[in-house]
Amino acid sequence: MVEFSTILAGFADAFSLYNLLFVLFGVVLGQFVGAVPGIGPIMAMAIAIPFTFGLDPLPAIAFLVGVNKGGLVGGAVPAVLMNTPGTPDAAATAMDGYPLAKQGKPLKATKMALFSSVTGDTFSDIVLITVSAPLAILALKMGPVEVCALMIFAFSILAGLIGNSLAKGIIAACLGLLAASIGQDPENFTPRLIFGYWDLFGGLALPSVAIGMLAISEILHRLSEAHGNLRPAIVAKDTGNPADRRVSWAEYWSCRYTMLRGATIGTILGALPGIGSTAAAFMSYAMTKASSKEPETFGKGNIQGIAASESANSAVVGANLIPLLTLGIPGSVGAALIISAFTIHGMQPGPLLFENQGRLVYGLFGAMIMANFVNLWVGQLGLRLWVKVVSAPESIIFSSALLLCFVGVSMATNGLFGVTIMLIFAVIGYLMASFGYSLVIFIIAFFLGPRFEKSIAQSLALTNGDLTQVLKSPVAVALLVLSAVSVVWFLKKNAQENPA
Amino acid sequence: MTTTADRISGLFFMLLGLAMYFWVNPNFIETVESGNIAPATLPNIISIILAISGAYVAIKPTTHQTRNPVLMAKTALYVALLCIGIWAMSKLGFEYVAPGLALAIMWLIGERRPLWLGLGVIAMPLLIWFLVSEVLGRALP
């Protein structure tokens, strides 16, 4: 168990002025990129990771968390004003936000999005802080056999939940595992699949692969569709009524159950690897509409709709870190990118993190809580400014993003070889996305691959190759059964969705 | 088109899995006598699963819509441009190549306004140079 003095020291680190500045910078950057359709917090995090190389671990990770949290708030701005979600998570927000803006209440809509987002996010952070340490203690009791079974379970969940085809999900996972095989074999340390390139002996760098697949491939896609003209920013009418420019306490309080429901859905889905905030937002929206006494008002500018969507999608951010910090399994692309930041600073996320880096973990928790307040404050001040951001031309955004990716990856991998790998994976990512193969599964499988193989080797050593020994571990058996049930369930679901 | 695309990608992954299993893994992974799991074991298993899954996608395609082939060809042009950019950076360095690369990208997008071109071609590379070389004290590519 982490000592109370360590917890206090972590929070003290988090609330230092130095750290606060990085959280503030991260939130401002996140809200800015979230407001620009097509960039989003994930791409911003991917680009920013190498630039955190020179920072201490806590400000570096707090900065990235700030980008992620700010991005979700910023994403609501174009969704509300232009019916163009800045991030996929904000798609459900547009359903009621845009009609409300058209009624002459754009500021009320964006402020409701901001308040619900911060509420949902804070709820999920409190859950994260409360449950992650006990879960980590439980995770530490798991041996290689249980870890191996857990990995299999994670893969089965991921493959089924992302994409419309289980086979395609499996292919994406296989490709990620194959990419992870490049470099040293984890047991014998012999070179494997390096094709004579000794730069590959240490394996493919996570920043190269992640930035290539997530940022560059998306930029390439956007570049091919770009036209260089300013997108027409919406000219929002104003009713002239001050009450339409703010959210009153009564309006906020009337949404309390909606936000609580959204935050709960977001937290539960966020804690499960691979589901994501978009699904949480739509599920919360649907449940709110279904339980409403006036379902016909949804889609016409009901603030309950905005509250449902934003509280749920923001609650996912904190909850995503539960599997990451307790089991070392990234629950989302954002969490996978935060792993890059951990590894850049020489740390391995997982249950041992609480034991070895307890102060840092609680510093991160403190930074997350602080980021919520900063998000609220920056949002209140910056909403009018972000409205102007939505009209920034794509030409400057994407050319600058490409240059930043080149420099960032070069810094993280010490040269242009890493940049070349990044471009190769950008092409792979672009083609995979074009043909409907999940990039998220690829990235998570790529990260989990070496640990998965190592746990297999350790399990075999422990059981002397006798697989019946697995039956002596109830946890492993339960996880393997769950994996089998998941696969069967997803196959059935897939068959129903795609009838022959 | 959608069915054909899935069949093509499924067939590709099936062949990739087979090629990995029969040719790549035996030739590019060393054989080790000791240990609990041979270096080629996991890649071989993955290759087999990849081939089977690829065959499944080819036989039972989904309704996924691929991107417009014209846009994909346009993307290939940008990829070629970035390849030239990386090659040029290896010869000349970031400081000399970045403005030209930014100009080429912005021009291809269709940007013609001097202010935005100036920002993208001059201001942004300068800002990156200042941030990386002067503030962070790191080497540019």
* Full DSSP string of A430-498: HHHHHTT--HHHHHHHHHHHHHHHHHHHHHHHHHTT-GGGGGG-HHHHHHHHHHHHHHHHHHHHHHHHS
Closest alpha carbon within chain B to A164: B62
Alpha helices by DSSP H, listed for chain B, are 2-19, 25-28, 41-59, 69-92, 94-109, 114-118, 124-129
Q: Are A77 and A34 in contact (CB under 8 A)?
A: yes
Chain B residues with CB under 8 Å of A201 CB are none
Q: Please determine, for residue A489, whether its predicted confidence score (pLDDT) is greater than 80.
A: no
Chain B partners within 8 Å of A499 (Cβ): none
d(Cα B84, Cα A406) in Å, to the nearest integer? Answer: 13
Please tell me the distance in Å from A391's CA to the nearest CA on chain B.
13
| A297 DSSP assignment | G
Task: Return the pLDDT at A421.
Answer: 95
Min distance A215 CA to chain B CA atoms (Å): 14
Per-residue model confidence (pLDDT) at position B117: 92
Question: What residues contact A90, with CB distance under 8 A and at least 6 apart?
Answer: A72, A75, A76, A78, A79, A113, A281, A309, A310, A313
Among A20-29, A60-69, A308-317, A445-454, name the one with the lowest average pLDDT: A445-454
Token pair 């809200």 is found at A31
- Chain A residue with Cα closest to B24: A193
Do A400 and B124 make contact, defined as CB atoms within 8 angstroms? Answer: yes
Distances (CA, A) of A55 to A48, A113, A208, B135: 12, 32, 20, 12
What is the pLDDT confidence band of residue A31, given thresholds at 50, 70 and 90?
A: confident
- Residues from chain A that touch B34, judged by Cβ atoms under 8 A, are 188
Measured between beta carbons, which residues in chain B are less than 8 angstroms from residue A423?
79, 82-83, 86
DSSP states along A227-274: -SSPP--------S-GGGGS--HHHHHHTHHHHHHHHHHHHHHHHSTT
Q: Using CB atoms, pick whichever of B32, B47, B79 lies closest to residue A188.
A: B32
Nearest to A192 among B29, B128, B139 (CB): B29
- pLDDT confidence of A161, banded at 50, 70, 90? low
Top-ranked range on mean pLDDT: pick from A248-252, A356-360, A417-421: A417-421
Residues from chain B contacting residue A178 (CB–CB below 8 Å): 20, 43, 46-47, 50
> pLDDT (tens digit, 9 = 90+) per residue, B6-50?
999 999 999 999 999 999 999 999 888 777 788 999 999 999 999
Q: Which residue on chain B is closest to A463 by alpha carbon?
A: B36
Task: Give the three-state DSSP class for B15.
Answer: helix
In the numeric block, which tokens belong to residue A122? 């804070």
Chain B CA closest to residue A425: B79
3-state SS assignment for residue A104: coil
Give the residue from A37, A105, A45, A26 showing the smallest Cα distance to A77.
A37
Residue B93 gets the label, from left (phi > 0), alpha (psi -120 to 50) or beta, of left
Is residue A42 within 8 Å of A85, Cβ to Cβ?
no
Nearest CA in chain B to A216: B79
Q: What tokens were used for A461?
A: 């050593």
Lowest mean pLDDT among A321-330, A489-498, B81-90: A489-498
Q: What share of chain A has pLDDT > 70, as a percent? A: 87
Q: Do B5 and A394 touch (CB under 8 A)?
A: no
For residue A232, pLDDT beyond 50: no
Across A22-36, A342-356, A397-411, least confident range = A342-356
Judging contacts by C-beta atoms under 8 Å, the chain A residues touching residue B17 are: 174
What secondary structure letter does DSSP report for A184? E
In Å, how far are A216, A252, B63 from B70, measured between CA atoms? 19, 48, 20
Number of other CB atoms surrounding residue A1 within 10 Å: 11
| A435, A438, A490, A493: best to mutate for the B interface, most B CBs within 10 A | A435
Encode pLDDT of A52-102 as tens digits: 877 888 898 889 888 888 887 887 887 787 666 655 667 778 888 888 888
Higher-pLDDT residue of A238 and A482 is: A482
* CB A33, CB A43: distance < 8 Å: yes
Residue B35 burial (CB count, 10 A) = 15
A227 touches chain B (CB under 8 A): yes
How far apart (Å, rounded) are the C-alpha atoms in residues A405 and A396?
14
Min Cα separation A18/chain B (Å): 17
Query: Mean pLDDT, to the nearest integer, of A355-375?
Result: 88
Give residue-wise pLDDT tens across range B81-109: 999 999 999 999 999 999 999 999 999 98
Which residue in the block uniquely carries the two structure tokens 């609220």? A376
φ, ψ (nearest 5 deg) of residue A290: -65, -35
* Residue A175 at interface with chain B, using a CB cutoff of 8 Å: yes
- The HSE-up count of residue B89 (CA atoms within 13 Å, CB side) is 25
DSSP B106-133: HHHHT---HHHHHIIIIIHHHHHHIIII
Give the pLDDT confidence of A382-428 residue by residue, as tens digits: 877 777 666 667 788 788 888 988 988 888 787 899 999 999 999 99
Task: Please state, in angstroms and as integers, the Cα–Cα distance from residue A206 to each residue in A154, A277, A442, B9, following that order.
Answer: 19, 23, 12, 25
pLDDT exceeds 70 at position A157? no
Nearest-Cα distance to chain B for A499, in Å, is: 9
Owner of token pair 């240490």: A202
* Record: contact A396-B116, CB cut-off 8 A: yes
Mean pLDDT across chain A: 82
Q: What is the DSSP letter of A36?
A: S
Is the pLDDT at A174 greater than 80, yes or no? Answer: yes
Banded pLDDT at A223 (limits 50, 70, 90): confident
Residues of A in contact with B18 (CB under 8 A): none
| pLDDT for A341 beyond 60 | yes
For B31, the closest chain A residue by CA position comes to A190
pLDDT of residue A230 exceeding 50, the answer is no
- Using a CB-CB distance cutoff of 8 angstroms, which residues of chain A are in contact with residue B136? 51, 53-54, 411
Residue A109 reports pLDDT greater than 70: yes
Mutate to test the interface with A, among B15, B37, B115 (most CBs of A within 10 A): B37
Residue A228 has pLDDT above 60, yes or no: no
Q: Is residue A233 over pLDDT 70?
A: no
Average pLDDT over residues A120-129: 90
- The answer to whether the Cβ–Cβ distance between A171 and B43 falls below 8 Å is no
Higher-confidence residue: A272 or A442?
Answer: A442
* Measured CA angle at A128 (ends A412, A52), to 5 deg: 15
- Tell whether the model's pLDDT for residue A500 goes beyond 70: no
- Pairing assessment for the beta strands A191-192 and A183-184 based on DSSP bridges: antiparallel
* Tens-place pLDDT, residues B56-89: 999 988 877 787 888 999 999 999 999 999 999 9
pLDDT tops 80 at residue A141: no
Question: Between chains, do A423 and B119 touch, taking CB under 8 Å as contact?
Answer: no
pTM of the model: 0.75
Assign A183 to helix, strand or coil. strand
Residue B29 three-state SS: strand
3-class DSSP assignment, residue A192: strand
